[in-house]
Structure 1
Amino acid sequence: MDIGYLYIVISPCRSSRNHCVRCENLSFRDEKPNLWKEPKFMALLVFLFIPFILSAQSIKPENPIQFKIKNAGITVDGTISDWEVEVDFDPKKLAQSSIRGKANPESIQTGIKLRDKHLHGREYFHIQKFPFISLESKSFQSKGKNTFVGIFELQIRDVKREVEIPFTLSQTGKQQKFKGEFVIDRLDFGIGEKSLVLSDEVRVIIEF
């Protein structure tokens, strides 16, 4: 069965100021209307999607990512200063919430420039081939007032692994502050090799 589309054009009647449907303006077309070319339809789409566009906040945190690792029994403190995060987090709507982050390992600083340059190399972060570290939330659970646990997918180099990150949230009005801390095994991500001097565990602190 063929389906046509009835178009009704409304225009003013000559005998009245009111609008009515005039018979001579009725038309029957076989083609389907192209709504994408209709300005009013496009305006409606923009209006409907604005809340979703504005809900996620892109943040360039002032605080660097911090990490700690033991080398020859001494704790080495390091930072990654160049990073950004996109947050759409509602404590009352955890299933719809999301947190995504991206960091540039070239901005690593450990207090010794020669060591920093070594970390850029093929054996560790290999920044020429893998210029970013990424983190993306998969799910959240509430663990008490302002305390949560998130399951995230962490990618370093070409390795992706799920990590569990407990974090706290402090909120004043619409301003949110997050702080989380977790431990990873550097060998899981191909960062260096097994060593009697350098620890496998790296403690990571994120605050934004």
Structure 2
Amino acid sequence: MSLKTWNLDTTHSTVGFMVRHMVVAKVHGRFTKFEGKVVVNGDDLAQGSVEVKIEAGSIDTGVEQRDNHLRSPDFFDVAAFPKLIFRSKRVQDEGKGRYRVVGDLTVRDVTREVVLEAELLGKLKDPWGNDRLAFQASTHIDRKEFGLTWNQALEAGGLLVGDRVDISIDVQAVAAAAEKAA
């Protein structure tokens, strides 16, 4: 078998998140700038690896004032920590196109192991002759474990920002040109 590299097609991929706001509401957001690759041994995704680098400053919740606060030292501190990085350590085949991708997520120079629950949505050749993979994945983290501890108490009780962050990823990946030519 030979290694095959798939580059994330960032125009057809999304890295999103959701966090509770004022206990009862949900705020959704995404990162608009990222790059990554999936490397697999032949067609066996369980013999693969994933690496994604996200520009922390590309956070977008649709509210400029909130996004600027999230970029500040209270949260991501993008001047000091410009990238969020995920590197897989192993991929476990769970059957029926489902995988557990175990890896290290680094935020603000804090690295913690996370598990992405992933599903292969399909593999095909696009109209331009490129081989593509599509998959979705999700996980959740406790933001405090990554040094994202800022919060504010509410008069009615509870905190302004929830600790749990749900992460959802929808990806299309395109076979690297060098592999295609081979």
The TM-score normalised by the length of structure 2 is 0.79
Letter in 1 for 2:140: V
Cα-to-partner distance string for 1:87-135 (whole Å, 9 max, x where unaligned):
113553623x111000001111112101100011111000001000000
Q: Which runs of 5+ in 2 are unaligned?
A: 126-130, 153-158, 172-182
Match of 1:94 among 40, 43, 46: 46
* 1:46-61 alignment, distance < 5 Å: 55-61=4-10
Q: Which has the higher contact order (CA 8 A, sep 6+)?
A: 2
The alpha-carbon deviation at position 171 of structure 1 amounts to: 1.6
The equivalent of 2:111 in structure 1 is: 160
Q: 2:166 matched to 1:203?
A: yes
How far apart, in 2, do the equivalents of 1:185 and 1:89 lie? Answer: 30
The alpha-carbon deviation at position 75 of structure 1 amounts to: 0.4
* 1:45-124 alignment, distance < 5 Å: 55-62=4-11, 63-72=13-22, 73-90=24-41, 92=44, 94-95=46-47, 97-124=48-75
Q: 2:174 matched to 1:193?
A: no
The alpha-carbon deviation at position 83 of structure 1 amounts to: 0.6
Query: Would you say the 8 A contact 1:168–1:179 is kept in 2?
Result: yes
How far apart, in 1, do the equivalents of 2:166 and 2:149 lie? Answer: 16
Runs of 4+ in 1 over 3 A off after TM superposition: none
Identity %: 26
How far apart, in 2, do the equivalents of 1:178 and 1:101 lie? Answer: 14
Letter in 2 for 1:68: M
How far apart, in 2, do the equivalents of 1:127 and 1:60 lie? Answer: 24
How far apart, in 2, do the equivalents of 1:206 and 1:80 lie? Answer: 10
How far apart, in 1, do the equivalents of 2:108 and 2:66 lie? Answer: 19
Query: Would you say the 8 A contact 1:64–1:83 is kept in 2?
Result: no
Higher Cα Rg, which structure: 1
How far apart, in 2, do the equivalents of 1:193 and 1:120 lie? Answer: 12
Deviates more, 1:150-159 or 1:191-200: 191-200
Cα-to-partner distance string for 1:124-148 (whole Å, 9 max, x where unaligned):
0000010000001100111111111
What secondary structure does 1:203 align onto?
strand
Letter in 1 for 2:15: I
How far apart, in 1, do the equivalents of 2:6 and 2:20 lie? Answer: 35
How far apart, in 2, do the equivalents of 1:92 and 1:68 lie? Answer: 31
Letter in 2 for 1:113: E
Cα-to-partner distance string for 1:70-97 (whole Å, 9 max, x where unaligned):
11121001110101111113553623x1
Q: What's the RMSD between the two structures over aligned residues?
A: 1.7
The TM-score normalised by the length of structure 1 is 0.70
The alpha-carbon deviation at position 194 of structure 1 amounts to: 5.2
